[in-house]
Amino acid sequence: MTGRERRYGLFEGGRPLTQANAFLDALGQRGLSRFTLRAYAFDLVRFYRWLYATDRKLLELTSADLLAFIASQREERAAPRSINRRLSTVRLLYRFWTQRDLAPGPGALAPAPHYKGPGADHNLGVHRLRRRAALALRVREPQLLIEPLSPRQVRSFLRSLERYRDLAITHAMLFCGLRSKEVLELEVGDVDFAEAKIRVRGKGNRERAVPLPEVLAESLRRYLALERPTRPTQPRLFLVLQGRRRGQPMTAAGLRGLFRRRRRRPDLRIANAHRFRHTFGADMTRAGVRLPILQRLMGHADFKTTLGYVRLSLADVAEEYRRALAQLAQRYGKR
């Protein structure tokens, strides 16, 4: 077994996935986070499971073979977004080993040419677009509208919290838009009370600074003074407060448990960690925060990701509609 295989340990059917492990090793050398590498690894295991089951070989694949892979993923009820991510992973793996893109092959669908008009982007309209010969094979992804939490749901959730630690975690997501991973990786030194800011380590090891609102600062002060175990050698901000792991860094499972216990209540069934981040994006949009500012606050590399967070919810549309109707009623009067 090679060092790469020992490092990533990807096996399928008792066989080491040497090609996949070498690919992951190259990605690791580029400095990708372990969470990103783990996502690639899961996709590769699923791909090789299909590859072995259909007696195909990576270096002999064509785009037509990807259609069969898509069909198998649909049979497994994989989400369209997951399928597209796995297709991208397969194309990267193939390019890594062949230094070329997948050939179309007989029976492959040729995606339509990519053209979005004579120049400006339809969202921002501030830069020219380069024309591309063709799009990569993808599955159509439905536009999912994620409803933010209502003020009543937020208040109900906050009232259910019994620890300052849990309150500070929720405030960090609700008022700063932090991801679960970003919350867990915060260190004590990342919080600057004097300058009222927090240093956040986002996706791709990109760092950003976000303002520290007073409501979060107050819950953090109480957590640090009254609850956080005294462990000078542990830099992580949020620690386990009881049990055998007291004083150890809080885990992703522990964070999920914090929200899972409260989601058993009928009025809080949708109150997961990411929903609080989405609520932050919606609230900032309602307050008139401009897209570039919100993109920076949320740590998005692509503005299109931010646009997905700021789509108006059904409640927003209904409220604006009612307001417009009230104005129309005053303008035209009742007969």
pLDDT tens readout for residues 57-91: 999 998 889 999 999 999 999 999 899 999 999 99
Q: What is the mean predicted confidence (pLDDT) over 8-32?
A: 79
Q: pLDDT tens digit string along 188-202? A: 999 999 999 999 998
Q: What is the mean predicted confidence (pLDDT) over 4-16?
A: 59
Alpha carbons 4 and 204: distance in angstroms, whole number: 22
Q: pLDDT tens digit string along 251-291? A: 999 999 999 989 888 889 889 998 999 899 888 888 888 88
**Is the CB of residue 92 less than 8 Å from the CB of residue 166?**
no
Helix (H, G, I), strand (E, B) or coil at 209: strand
**Is the CB of residue 193 less than 8 Å from the CB of residue 217?**
yes
Helices 164-176 and 252-262 cross at an angle (nearest 10°) of 90
Q: How many CB atoms lie within 10 A of CB 218?
A: 14
- The domains of the chain, with CATH numbers, are 3-98 (1.10.150), 154-309 (1.10.443.10)
Q: pLDDT tens digit string along 22-67? A: 999 888 888 777 778 888 999 999 999 999 999 999 999 988 899 9
With a threshold of 0.75, does the pTM exceed it? no
DSSP state of 62: B
Rounded to the nearest 10 degrees, how much is the dihedral formed by the CA atoms of 273, 279, 280, 283?
A: -170
Q: pLDDT tens digit string along 132-169? A: 545 577 788 777 666 889 999 999 999 999 999 999 99
